[in-house]
Chains A and B, each alone.
Chain A
Amino acid sequence: MGKIIAVHSYKGGTGKTLLSVNLAAALARKGRNVCLFDLDFRAPSLSALLKVKAEYWLNDYLNGTCEIDKVLINLTGRLSNSGKFFVGLANPTTEAIREMSAKDRRWEMHALGRLLSLRNSLLNNGFDYLIFDTSPGLQYSSINAIVTADLVLVASTFDKSDIEGTKRMLRELYDLFEKKTGIIINKVLYDESLRNTEDVRKSMEQTYQSPILGAIPCFCDVSKAKGTIIFVEEKRSHPFTKILNKIAEKIDEMKVN
């Protein structure tokens, strides 16, 4: 049985989408069959980032107007020597975003049921990983994704308010749902990254009282790419790629069920 991973954070701009795309690609490059979902219905970005358009969106699947096979787009060809790499996109039109933010609690409950059923339809049918890229904070769609997931990857920065918010979410959200968590410290500043990475990891682990899966320095090359490339595929020897590969390895070894 595979794993469902939700990539979440307290604040926006922590690098969730960058981490989701590159982690999905790193796992696929390890030979795993991966499906990446854009569950950030307030600010969908995978469609623009991966330069793909869909006939059916995840919005349609959650609305119950189509099944998941209609939504999935096969991007395996974008990666070399990989397992399957599929994506499910959120509709980025303003009308769709407006419509999704006006959904009521009953619809959200129905959407949770649809997300939970992906375990049977996809994980039991050849996929090793489902990765959910979510909206930051306590959005309905994000909490639905967290409840569905086996592992929550929390992207955090050194920003003081982000650290405080992440600490609260660990205690008051992930713990309440008994979710296994792994924290990724992103955008570690130059002077911070000069310190021994083991010290950074230990100090953050003490702050969060939760395992740190990796610390990623703030690489200018990553910022310059503007999210237009799958970094781990195109820059294979870059330190960012090496860190992502290590995180993928740790996740692959984790027992979550």
Chain B
Amino acid sequence: MTGQDNLGRKSTKILEKIRENLEKLNEKIEIMIELQRKGKREMQPIPETPLDVMTLLSMPDHLRKTAMTVCRLGRATAEEVAQQTHRARAVESAYLNQLVVMGYLKKEREGRKAYFYIDKESRE
């Protein structure tokens, strides 16, 4: 293996790490934008409130659509949710993260993909 190969592999790893961090940063910025747009009150976590139909009914329309899609899919990425709702991936990503902040959804990373789901402890 040549020194150039090693250098190439290292560069790729570094670039991947940068991309991953940029994606995380992007999600955080999306949440901050949403916080500013919708106001902080709407996004306060509501502990002990499950994502049941009454909660869904009381949600603002844009979040209800996202939450219902996750209910239907069980576990999904922002891309998968966007395919169902016909809204942009970035928009769904912001709404999904908002639902995580509110305590209704959980988020799990698998490699580059972030999966959103309803807390299993409350579902089972």
Contact among B53, B61, B65, B124 for A108, CB-based, below 8 A? B53
Chain B nearest Cβ from A108, distance in angstroms: 5
Residue A256 CB within 8 A of the other chain: no
Q: Judge whether A64 is part of the interface by a CB distance below 8 angstroms.
A: yes
In whole angstroms, what is the CA distance A113 to B74 when docked? 8
* B50 A147 Cβ-Cβ under 8 A: no
Interface of A is mostly: helix
Question: How many angstroms between the C-alpha atoms of A246 and B52 in the bound complex?
Answer: 36
A144 contacts B by Cβ under 8 Å:
yes
* Residue A176, interface by CB 8 Å: yes
Does B82 make an interface contact (CB < 8 A)? Answer: no
Contact flags B36-69 to A (C-beta < 8 A → 1, else 0) = 0000000000000111111111000100110010
Cross-chain contact B68 with A147 (CB below 8 angstroms) = yes
Cβ of B4 under 8 Å from chain A: no
A-B contact count (CB 8 A): 48
Is the beta-carbon distance between A110 and B54 smaller than 8 angstroms? Answer: no
Q: Which of A115-152 contact B (CB under 8 A)?
A: 116, 140, 143-144, 147
User: Chain B interface mostly helix, strand, loop or mixed?
Assistant: helix
Known: A64-B124, A109-B123. A178 touches B53 (CB 8 A): no
Does A177 reach chain B (CB closer than 8 Å)?
Answer: yes
**B57 x A105 contact (CB < 8 A):** no
Interface centre among A105, A143, A144, A173, by most chain B C-beta atoms within 10 angstroms, is A105
The reply to whether B71 and A105 form a contact with Cβ atoms under 8 Å apart is: no
Total contacting residues, chain A, CB less than 8 A: 17
Residues of chain A lying within 8 A (CB to CB) of residue B71: 112-113, 116, 147
Closest residue of B by beta carbon distance from A64: B124
Question: Given contacts A64-B124, A147-B71, A176-B57, are A112 and B64 in contact (CB under 8 A)?
Answer: no
Is there an interface contact between A105 and B54, defined as CB atoms closer than 8 Å?
yes
Name the residue of chain B whose CB is nearest to the CB of A142.
Answer: B53
- How far is B72's CA from A105's CA once the two chains are assembled, in angstroms? 18
> Does A106 lie at the interface of the complex (its beta carbon under 8 Å from any beta carbon of B)?
yes
Minimum CB–CB distance from B122 to chain A (whole Å) comes to: 6
B34 to chain A, nearest CB (A): 21
Chain A residue with minimal CB distance to B119? A109
Tell me the bound Cα distance from A240 to B118 in angstroms: 45
Given contacts A116-B71, A143-B57, A173-B57, contact A109 B64 (CB under 8 A): no
Q: Which B residues touch A144, using CB under 8 A?
A: 53
Quick one: which of A64, A106, A173, A176 contacts B50, CB cutoff 8 A? A106
Chain B proximity mask over A97-113: 1 for CB below 8 Å, otherwise 0: 00000000110111011
Q: Which 5 A-B pairs have the closest CB atoms?
A: A109-B52, A143-B53, A109-B50, A105-B52, A106-B50
Interface of B with A (CB < 8 Å)? 49-57, 61, 64-65, 68, 71-72, 118, 122-124
